[in-house]
Amino acid sequence: MRRREFLKYVPPGMLSISLDYLDRPGDKSKKGYLEKPLPRRPLGKTKESLSIVGLGGVVLANEDQELCNQIVKEAIEYGVNYFDVAPSYGNAEERMGPALKPYRKKIFLACKTQKRDKEGAQQELHQSLARLQTDYIDLYQLHALSKIEDLDEALGPNGALETFLKAKEAGKIRFLGFSAHSVEAALEAIRRFDFDTVLFPVNFACYYKGNFGPQILSAALKKNMGILAIKALARQVWPAAEMRKEWPKCWYQPITDPEESELALRFTLSQPVTAIIPPGDPRLFKNTLNLAIRFKPITSEEESKLRQLANNLNPIFITKPS
């Protein structure tokens, strides 16, 4: 996507964020630019440390390769060392591979598969390695566990886990994890296997109004798992379908209000998480980097404010009563 085309998609109020990617991303002459890099936190029992913000592959999907290279370069300069992608993110792997190639030895690369069977997972792993132009993936995850049947197949005979373990022995994978949008599936995955990490929504509205998330944080901490958070800057389900036109990469309404964005980010990063993956829009990713650099733990008064806000929202996930 070229500069002129990109500007057609810029919503009001977001122009300054977008333009940063189209000018010189490494311009350290800008006042306040990189006064300090992103903090890093340990990732559970892995002995790895990740930047508190990671770059999700959706940010790069369907963008021009030149723009992707600039986004990755600037992320590295901010101190980002955590990159996450999946085959289901369109052409994100093809865009991320060339962009990351100069930095591969310096970063932590996570990938996923939605295949639950051994053969399917093996084929998808090899495809991802080729597209990402690397010979190993730091963290390979069962992607989007949504029901117990997914777990039964993946962990059963000829399941995807067999591919994971074999690839780990061969040095193609370093750590094993999973992502989920279901409390039930996530808790069962944590119980059944000694995964290194869990990637799960940790969002103030889901947490406070939907009781969605605290169970996973507690269970993962007991097993010293690394906790990676998604949906920190999700506001709610889209109130109206036509509103999505401004944010085509977001299936939920993202938080764009500056004060709400900072509070929501600080809420999630004040939980026992290692890092967050922001929404998949380049503008929101850049904004999250700028917010995270000045992170400070959320106060009890600010949490009360978020609780009140959550009461008026329609969370994207809730825990259904049993």
Q: What is the pLDDT of residues 275-287, one digit of tens each?
A: 999 999 999 999 9
243 vs 301, more confident: 301
Parallel, antiparallel or unpaired: strands 226-230 and 275-277 = parallel
Q: What is the mean pLDDT of residues 224-244?
A: 94
CB-based contacts of 150, cutoff 8 Å, min separation 6: 116, 142, 185
- Provide the pLDDT for residue 8: 37
Let me know if residue 113 belongs to a domain. yes
Residues in the chain: 322
Distance between CA atoms of residues 64 and 42, nearest Å: 33
Let me know if residue 1 belongs to a domain. no
Strand, coil or helix: what is 267? helix
The tally of domains found in the chain comes to 1
Distance between CA atoms of residues 315 and 306, nearest Å: 13
pLDDT at 210 over 50: yes
Element (H, E) at 179: strand 173-180
Global pTM reads: 0.89
Let me know if residue 14 belongs to a domain. no
Torsion angle (degrees, nearest 10) of CA 161, 48, 86, 99: -140
- Provide the pLDDT for residue 244: 87
* Chain-centre distance for alpha carbon 129: 19
CATH number at residue 170: 3.20.20.100
- Provide the pLDDT for residue 19: 35
Let me know if residue 276 belongs to a domain. yes
* pLDDT tens digit sequence for 17-30: 333 443 333 444 44
| Rounded alpha-carbon distances, angstroms, from residue 282 to 114, 193, 245, 290, 292 | 25, 35, 15, 13, 15
24 vs 122, more confident: 122
pLDDT at 16 over 60: no
Local confidence band at 269 (pLDDT 50, 70, 90 cut-offs): very high
Q: What is the mean pLDDT of residues 75-98?
A: 98
Let me know if residue 4 belongs to a domain. no
Distance between CA atoms of residues 144 and 150, nearest Å: 9
Local confidence band at 11 (pLDDT 50, 70, 90 cut-offs): very low
Let me know if residue 8 belongs to a domain. no
Distance between CA atoms of residues 255 and 169, nearest Å: 42
Let me know if residue 51 belongs to a domain. yes
23 vs 242, more confident: 242
- Provide the pLDDT for residue 34: 58
Cβ atoms of 136 and 174 closer than 8 Å: yes
Over the chain, what is the mean pLDDT?
90
- Provide the pLDDT for residue 3: 39
Local confidence band at 6 (pLDDT 50, 70, 90 cut-offs): very low
* pLDDT tens digit sequence for 244-268: 889 999 999 999 999 999 999 999 9
Q: What are phi and psi of 226, to 5 degrees?
A: -75, 135
* pLDDT tens digit sequence for 96-112: 999 999 999 999 999 99
Scan for tokens 């967050």, then name that residue: 276
* pLDDT tens digit sequence for 166-184: 999 999 999 999 999 999 9
Q: What are phi and psi of 98, to 5 degrees?
A: -65, -35
Q: What is the mean pLDDT of residues 114-119?
A: 98
- Provide the pLDDT for residue 320: 79
- Provide the pLDDT for residue 5: 40
* Residue 103: DSSP 8-state: G
Which structural domain, as residue segments, surrounds residue 161?
38-311
Let me know if residue 112 belongs to a domain. yes
